[in-house]
Amino acid sequence: MIHFYQILKHSKWTLASGILNLLGQVILYWLIAKFISPIDLGIYFLVSATIFLPMGILEYSFSSSIIQAEKNALKDQQAVLFINLIFAIAAIIGGSLIIYLLEQLYDYQLWTYYLLLSPMPLMMAYNSVQNASLKRALEIKTFALVDLSSFIIGFITTLYLLYQGHNLFALIIGQVFRVLTSFILLIFIQGIQTLVPLALPSYLKPHYTYGKFILAEKGFGLILSYADIFLINHFFGSGLVGIYEFFKRIVRLQTLIYQKRLVYRQLQL
């Protein structure tokens, strides 16, 4: 019951962070429609899919075992970090092969964009571990403030670069800055020792055993959620990918706004 009241007490922080994130995304999508062409937007969605897919898996797979662990031990965090880094490196290699195939099949120029985004899974390998640690310790306010701060930095960076005429690079650099800000803040909050990965089998095994099933479940769902981008690109080109994915995200955004409103009303009761 004590934990329930603690969660309820701090849930307003996550709600406020979520609402501000959503409002920022509304503004950002309006700017995207104004400054970026559908073809460039389609290119962005194709490249970012190879990055955001493994990042989504990292966020919800092996790191979840920290929340379920008996203790929030540093060695457990370091062990999960090691697993995450192996997965992130494999994902970057796999993503580079996908980018190579896209360039060969469709004569796109994607490598520059991919190289700029490629550090993000490595940073997320660390961020997901520390976010899970904060959630386990019920440090919801800290988690929300880190999330909100990183969004604000990424949003300002994107906004500035858009008005400077960098367009597609504005979206890419903005995303990198957002993840980088979380990375730096979490190191400052959790300590430099959390950056050290641990490869001892006795610590790795329980986290790998727990996370592999979530990895399979989340991985399959995320692959399906991104498959339509590549199918539409194959049959209709990157221009339609940009239009399709843009409106899909607008619909998703409206759904999230509606859900946040329901949660806010429930908290007021």
Rounded average pLDDT over 47-73: 87
Domain carrying residue 102: 29-268
DSSP category for residue 70: S
- The answer as to whether 10 is a domain residue is no
Count the helices and strands in the chain (H runs, E runs).
10, 0
What is the tally of structural domains in the chain? 1
Q: How many residues does the chain have?
A: 269
pLDDT at 2 over 50: no
Which of 45, 77, 73, 51 lies closest to 63 in space, CA to CA?
77
Rounded Cα gap, residues 184 and 123, in angstroms? 9
pLDDT digits 0-9 by tens, 28-43? 888 887 888 899 999 9
Which is more confident, 254 or 166? 166
pLDDT of residue 49: 93
Measured in whole angstroms, the distance separating CA 38 from the mean position of its chain's CA atoms is 23
- The answer as to whether 246 is a domain residue is yes
pLDDT digits 0-9 by tens, 107-129? 899 999 999 999 999 999 999 99
Rounded Cα gap, residues 221 and 267, in angstroms? 31
Rounded average pLDDT over 77-102: 95
Rounded Cα gap, residues 76 and 63, in angstroms? 10
pLDDT band with cut points at 50, 70 and 90 for residue 1:
very low
- The answer as to whether 127 is a domain residue is yes
- Mean pLDDT, the chain, as a whole number? 86
- The answer as to whether 3 is a domain residue is no
pLDDT digits 0-9 by tens, 173-194? 999 999 999 999 999 999 999 9
Report the share of the chain in percent with pLDDT over 90.
Answer: 49
pLDDT of residue 158: 94
- The answer as to whether 188 is a domain residue is yes
- The answer as to whether 17 is a domain residue is no
- The answer as to whether 107 is a domain residue is yes
**What Cα–Cα distance (Å) separates residue 2 from each residue in 20, 77, 203, 269?**
28, 25, 30, 19
pLDDT digits 0-9 by tens, 191-240? 999 999 998 888 888 888 888 888 777 888 888 888 999 999 989 998 89
Rounded average pLDDT over 143-169: 92
- The answer as to whether 8 is a domain residue is no
